Structure 1
Amino acid sequence: MRDLDYVAAVTATTGGGGALWLGGIAVPNRRLVLRWLRRQALRLADGHGRDLPPASPWLRARDVPQIIFHGSDAPEGLRAWAGDEGRQAEAIGALESGRPALLTVVDPAVGLHVTLAGWPVGPDRPLATRVRHLCSPP
């Protein structure tokens, strides 16, 4: 089995600084990172009172749990990012060049920040350091 070269994570932080790990995945290529992040963005944006799509069948990837947003800013931001081909191309380009792909949306009513992040895993920087750095509160 080959080593996995990319990871993705979804985290939430509150205004008080409390962080919650919602989920993550390790995959062999950047397209699967982006595919998983887009799916999570749409699930989070569309998960309020609607029927959610079934769990992802590929790579036994788990979906993140739903979050209750108190306004429309965060869901609209997630939907806009997931549907914008230009922003998707930027994310793929960042991953290809060894940089992280990040999106943070804010629910201003409660100070909730939701971050979707994907990054390449390399021998020059331990995974734990990358996760702490990328998913810390803004």
Structure 2
Amino acid sequence: MAVGVRLAFALASRGGDASGGWVLARTRLDTGAKAAGWLRGEALRLAVRLDPGPRTRWAAPGTLHPVREPGPDAPTSLRAWAEDRQRQARVRHLLAHGRALSFHFPDPGGAWYALTAAPLAPPTPESR
């Protein structure tokens, strides 16, 4: 795919476990830059919803507590992915070149979360 060709992208976040998977959010955006921004924002949105932190106003004191399981959990991995500047630059680069992307974030408890971006075919002259 040549750089400069404007592609739209179908984007989704999914979550699931051994019993199946579900779409958590989806959208279509008209540039790779917007798609990269949505993926990053969605990673942060999921991380905050899954692991809001001890100072969350809506939770009564003592409601939230750390979980001690081996390995990184999905919220930690989602935050790390979203905050890694080099990785985000690579995502923008790949989307600018029309690449489909999929990122998987497993949780030690068996749940998983995924972020995907798929380029949409440009409109044909007949469809305009």
TM-score scaled by length of structure 1: 0.65
Once the two structures are superposed, the pairs formed by residues 73-88 of structure 1 within 5 Å of their partners are: 73-88=73-88
More contact order relative to length (CA 8 Å, sep ≥ 6): 2
CA contact (8 A) 1:13 1:20 kept: yes
Aligned position for 1:122: 121
Aligned position for 2:16: 13
Deviation at 1:93, TM superposition (A): 1.8
Task: Tell me the SS of whatever aligns to 1:23.
Answer: strand
| Root-mean-square deviation over aligned CA pairs | 2.5
Deviation at 1:20, TM superposition (A): 0.5
Deviation at 1:114, TM superposition (A): 0.4
TM-score scaled by length of structure 2: 0.69
Q: Distance in 1 between matches of 2:57 and 2:32?
A: 29
Q: Which runs of 4+ in 1 moved over 6 A?
A: none
Q: Assess, with a 3 A threshold, how the Cα gap between structure 1 residues 107 and 95 changes in structure 2: closer, same or farther.
A: same
Deviation at 1:4, TM superposition (A): 7.1
Aligned position for 1:59: none
Q: Distance in 1 between matches of 2:34 and 2:84?
A: 17
Q: Distance in 2 between matches of 1:106 and 1:41?
A: 13
Deviation at 1:119, TM superposition (A): 2.1
For this pair of structures, how many residues does the alignment match? 103
Aligned position for 2:99: 99
Q: Deviations over 1:23-81 (max 9, x none)?
A: 111011011111111111111112244369xxxxxxxxxxxxxxxxx765111110011
Unmatched 5+ stretches in structure 1: 53-69, 124-138
Q: Assess, with a 3 A threshold, how the Cα gap between structure 1 residues 51 and 97 changes in structure 2: closer, same or farther.
A: farther
CA contact (8 A) 1:4 1:26 kept: no
Percent identity over paired residues: 32
* Larger gyration radius, structure 1 or structure 2: 2
